[in-house]
Structure 1
Amino acid sequence: MAPFLPKGDELKVDDSLSKPGQPRCKVSVDGTLHLYLRGDIVEPDFDPLEATEQSMRRLGNPAPADGIGDGATIADHGAMAVGACTHQGEKRQYVLDVDAVDHPQDTSERRLALERFVRAQLPVAMEAEGCRP
């Protein structure tokens, strides 16, 4: 999370909104939200990338990213990645959503950091929720 957080005196991590199959994490520095992570286990016939296309536009210039799970979109201030999986014996999809990112200041550097982050974290998040590829 280091590339997404500015320097500051107080780091706060709030995961109080998490539920089974729906992890949530808000990360604030000095009282300002700088990173919001969401995970969801959803039905296999649902296309989360298409369903959230408008909200991804709100994050600025969304574009597909190759080679991440079963699909990913990287925007200027967030990203989403999807991986097909089996959860509790049933076919599902895991959706990792990253929002509220405004660091690093350079947009191309931030987008590259977001792509690296979702590429690395999607399989880890899926495993943590018991969602097996």
Structure 2
Amino acid sequence: MRRIVSRPACHAALLTALLVGAVGCGEPDAFKVSEACGTKVDPDLIGQLLPSGKELKTKDTFSEPKQPRCEFEIDGQEVVGLRGDVVEPFIKPLEVNERTMRRLGNPKPADVGDGATIADHAAMAVQACTYKGEKSQYVLVIDGVENPKDTAERRRILEEFLRSQLPVAMQAEGCRP
């Protein structure tokens, strides 16, 4: 009788060890962030752009009206920055930041807003808008992006993030198309 009882217990222990080991070997779940810089963000998109880790903090940094800023910090290290700017209509943000985008890797134009640039580790989009009755532009930038590791996939997600976040960020800042 003792032998019959010990076999199922042994099988259960082995199965548990295998399941725990399988869970421990997999990739950690992406962080789920639903708000950053005072605006809603798509948790699936931003989560794919953040590295894995144990603790995520988002903090507003130097934010003021017309210039929301926030940083994503994982395990005590700043990893990804997100910022918006309401700027004068005569400023050409894509041209002004061309050198920076080149430094961030192989910038290419993208069809987002009135213009966008996607680099290997950053992205920027510009959209004309009206802010407090004045013609303006809204500029959305995300930088410091290292994930996913596959550059083509990272660039695709960056473009998708800009496409979804630009209208949300503009609306939150009161910049109407």
Superposed pair shares fold, TM > 0.5: yes
Structure 2: tracts of 5 or more residues without a match: 1-45
User: Deviations along 1:39-93, whole A, 9 cap, x unmatched?
Assistant: 0000001110001000001110000002x11000000000000000000000000
Structure 1: tracts of 5 or more residues without a match: none
The amino acid across from 1:122 in the alignment is L
Matches of residues 21-100 of structure 1 in structure 2 within 5 Å? Answer: 21-66=66-111, 68-100=112-144
Structure 2 CA distance, aligned partners of 1:92 and 1:126?
11
The structure whose Rg is larger is 2
Report the identity percentage: 63
Structure 1 CA distance, aligned partners of 2:72 and 2:61?
12
What is the TM-score with the length of structure 1 in the denominator? Answer: 0.97
Higher helix share: 2
CA contact (8 A) 1:4 1:34 kept: no
Worse overlay, 31-40 or 47-56: 31-40
Q: Which runs of 4+ in 1 moved over 3 A?
A: none
The amino acid across from 1:96 in the alignment is L
RMSD value, Cα? 0.7
The amino acid across from 1:75 in the alignment is A
Number of equivalences: 132
The amino acid across from 2:119 in the alignment is A
Deviation at 1:31, TM superposition (A): 1.6
2:169 counterpart of 1:130 = no
Structure 2 CA distance, aligned partners of 1:20 and 1:93?
14
Higher strand share: 1
Worse overlay, 74-83 or 24-33: 24-33
What is the TM-score with the length of structure 2 in the denominator? Answer: 0.73
